[in-house]
Amino acid sequence: MRKSRLHVAFQGERGSYSHEACERYFGPHIAVTPLRTLRDVFHAVESGHNVFGVVPVENSYEGSINETHDLLASTTSKVCGEILVRVRHCLIGKPGTRADEITTVYSHPQALAQCARYLRISKMEAVPTYDTAGSVKLIKAMRSRKVAAIASRRAAELYSMRIIAEGIEDSGVNYTRFLVLGKRAAPRSGDDKTSIIFGVEHKPGSLYRALKALSRSGINLTKIESRPVKNAPWQYNFYVDFHGHMWDKSCHEALRDLRERSTFVKILGSYPTATS
């Protein structure tokens, strides 16, 4: 019987940082499916066979990707991995273009924000688009030499465009964290992380009591963030990452106690901790 090829979906175009994250995690010999939106990626995983998805969840400089967090609240997929990608942005233009010719720069809003100082000093107008590599594809089709894009070196090479400047991000330690989505939970690795979402009653001390359930078991939180509940003004869900696998004794007991102090608990998944 012929073995099915692994398919991995991501938001954006080939040459994007999401594409890089796919290949870093699964290797270069996968079938990738570039999609227009993050929602499309979640849908592809939920409805497909032998399909994984890779989505950005936070950036070390600009913070969380809110849309990803909101989609995690309703997905039936499991978080089964994570990848850290070093982001090194390039100013990319048409072959022969000089930096002093550029007046307008296209890229994803996150990339534009990560290069805000460079754009301000260079007096270039920032125009948001849906993807970094997609912006390179976009300006390649334009007639003007006054336009450029912010994307990766690989995107420039893939679309045969010129790197005018490299390393233009405001922070020299710029990383984006990606999550791997699948239909099955990941096995224990011995160095795991667990991601959950929970809610509490809108009463004084309710969040404190919920977090105390984790603290009592010696759980080391690596992230906590709140997001508003859709169609419920001034109510919030809490997104938490912590060290350990959900089936480790201490984590299992902590999650049991958390359920008793919360209105709901959703375990997104346990997965091997990524290294930079």
> Could you report the average pLDDT of every consecutive run of 10 residues in the chain (276 residues)?
74 96 93 96 89 96 94 96 97 95 97 97 97 97 96 96 97 95 93 97 92 91 93 91 95 95 97 89
> What is the structure's pLDDT at 240?
97
How far apart CA 141 and CA 196 sit, in angstroms, is 43
Token pair 């997929």: residue: 77
| Domains parsed from the chain with CATH numbers | 7-86+175-182 (3.40.190.10), 90-166 (3.40.190.10), 192-272 (3.30.70.260)
Q: How far is CA 80 from CA 27, 41, 71, 272, in A?
A: 16, 15, 16, 8
Picking from 159, 165, 21, 12, the residue whose alpha carbon sits closest to that of residue 86 is 21
How far apart CA 152 and CA 89 sit, in angstroms, is 5
- pTM, two decimals, is 0.93
> What is the structure's pLDDT at 202?
87
Q: Is 73 helix (H, G, I), strand (E, B) or coil?
A: coil
- Catalytic machinery residues: 176, 178
- Give strand pairing partners of 58: 64, 177
